[in-house]
Structure 1
């Protein structure tokens, strides 16, 4: 890929890039904040629950608060209450 300036002149091409995938398939889990914590998809601190990895606040650490989490990588979850995949 190369940049083009305002006068239309093309700059030097960038080096090629290679990438590999992890092979991890994202999964969705709907459960109470307590159950997410027990399953290590979330953690609690001072009575509040947070998604593992991303650290999104999920509210009180109890069995009455329910969320859907999408595990996008090992040890990394995001809140996906509005649909999964997030």
Structure 2
């Protein structure tokens, strides 16, 4: 899976997230629901495994949401 970055904006009662490429988009009534929809949208475009996601507000009415593959876990970190 590639990395998907979405610019999110609020207009009244609706949040909209649009990918930087402009090809993917979703909207919802809350940031939580928007994040769920954007993960689903990203997986529909590239469903090659699990994902991790991150949302950061830029202003009270805008933010950035990123969906990416999970970081690999190094087993050596758990060896005692």
Give TM-score, length-normalised by structure 1.
0.30
Structure number with greater CO (CA < 8 Å, separation at least 6) is: 2
| TM-score normalised per structure 2 | 0.32
Q: Over alpha carbons, which structure has the higher Rg?
A: 1
